[in-house]
Amino acid sequence: MQKLVIDGEKRLSGEIEVQGAKNSALPLLAASLLCKGETVLIGCPKLSDVYASCRILGCLGCECKAQGNTIIIKAEAPCGCCVPDELMREMRSSIVFLGAVLGRTGECKLSFPGGCQLGPRPIDLHLSALRQMGAVITERHGMLRCTCPGGLKGAELVLSFPSVGATENIILAAALATGQTVIRNAAREPEIVDLANFLNLCGAEISGAGSDTIIIEGVRELNGCEYKVMPDRIVVSTLMAAAAITGGEVSLKGARAEDVGAVIPVFEQMGCGIYSYSDRLFVTRSKKLRSVETVRTMPYPGFPTDAQPMTMAALSLANGTSIVIENIFENRFRHVDELARMGADIKTSGRAAVIDGVSRLYGAKVHAPDLRGGAALVVAALAAEGRTELFDVKYIDRGYEEIEKQLSQLGASIIRVSE
């Protein structure tokens, strides 16, 4: 078992290159299945979910080779349509393979992804859309079997909620379908734009990504290309929170202001200075940390749910009371009890959390409850008095490429210890 040992009260400063986005790399890897020839994805983060996606591609008959942060996929003739149960369990987001496998082979067998630490993660919107495109889907004993007897056909789809995963699955299924697919109330997240940009470079005809209406004209064939994964906007938000809570001064190379458009004003209200350059964001906090008015998580372009826990960690040391409303996932305050062990004063009721800023946080033994909740504890520990021992690092490792190296580079005292 591994833990992170963090000695707090070190001001972060310096420059770091932001890792590639996990939430973009995974759909891009799934998309490579649709492409003949070779796809080269540059800037893939070295994370277990990325390697799990490579193993899925292997099971589907593709060649997949990782060379550092570059992954080379050859999907000339995929010969499988089954995603093994253990890989579905390992990574809930493997559901994004459904649209790609169906699009390329016309059938797909996988297990139902089930719930996760954030609460139930239904896929009704994914399935309903694929059915409208002609897929016949049966659900039995936790297994999904999908076929499309007449091939996938374009359809006019309206999502009742702008689900990121459902939008990605529809794009993947529609890219090689017959005719035009229109997605209304589509998710507008930057990762959707990244997916559409990649597919368009491969020969797809997708327009409107980034808006709430996406139009996909099905094409006969896609051919692999070389593509650089977008920077990870949640890692950017995490490093912003780390700079804010330690009164630091960090340069985030590769970070794009437009990806964190709803996060920047919240940190500015907290007393940070955030300066955007063409190739980086510069974040500094020299004034006292201040509370903010209500932060509400919303689909993009609203404040991202994934940035909520670390923002809350920073607010726990701010002067005054802040409110956070979590609108996306029902079980996303699991870091609150652990932050309380460090001295934070946070009360939750349903979807709301009230954070009364305290003057000090104290190092403690804490457990990462999930990926972003774990990152929130790291952020808190960076500013806490004394030593924090953070267990269940495996959750944090799902989204951050060697978090201890990234933060050490900025002057934090953080090491990984194997027990």
* Short-list 286, 306, 375, CA closest to 339: 375
Q: Does 125 bind ligand UD1 (CB under 6 A)?
A: yes
Q: How far is the CB of 235 from ligand UD1 (least distance, A)?
A: 12
Q: How far is the CB of 73 from ligand UD1 (least distance, A)?
A: 18
* Short-list 225, 229, 202, CA closest to 44: 229
Q: Does 146 bind ligand UD1 (CB under 6 A)?
A: no
Return the H-helix or E-strand segment holding 369: none
DSSP category for residue 202:
T
By beta-carbon distance, which residue lies closest to ligand UD1? Answer: 165
Q: Does 306 bind ligand UD1 (CB under 6 A)?
A: yes
Q: How far is the CB of 63 from ligand UD1 (least distance, A)?
A: 24
Residues 6+ apart with CB under 8 A from 43: 19, 20, 69, 70, 228, 229
Q: How far is the CB of 223 from ligand UD1 (least distance, A)?
A: 25
Tokens representing 61?
A: 């008959």
Q: Does 271 bind ligand UD1 (CB under 6 A)?
A: no
Q: Does 376 bind ligand UD1 (CB under 6 A)?
A: no
Q: Does 225 qualify as catalytic in the annotation?
A: no
Tokens representing 118?
A: 């954030």
For the chain, state the CA radius of gyration.
21
Q: Does 53 bind ligand UD1 (CB under 6 A)?
A: no
Q: Does 121 bind ligand UD1 (CB under 6 A)?
A: yes
Q: Does 268 bind ligand UD1 (CB under 6 A)?
A: no
148-167 footprint of ligand UD1 as x/- string (CB under 6 A)? -------------x-xxxx-
Contact 181, 157 (CB under 8 A): yes
11-50 footprint of ligand UD1 as x/- string (CB under 6 A)? ------------x--x------------------------
Please report, to the nearest 10 degrees, the dihedral formed by the alpha carbons of residues 15, 19, 20, 23 taken in order: -120
Q: What are phi and psi of 149, to 5 degrees?
A: -50, -40
Find the catalytic residue in 62, 116, 146, 225: 116
Q: Does 130 bind ligand UD1 (CB under 6 A)?
A: no
Q: How far is the CB of 370 from ligand UD1 (least distance, A)?
A: 10
Q: Which amino acid is at 33?
A: L
Peptide bond preceding 301 in cis form (omega within 30 of 0):
yes
Please identify which residue in the block is written with the tokens 């457990």.
367
Residues forming the site for ligand UD1 (CB under 6 A): 23, 26, 93, 121-126, 161, 163-166, 187, 304-306, 328-329
* Catalytic residue ranges: 116
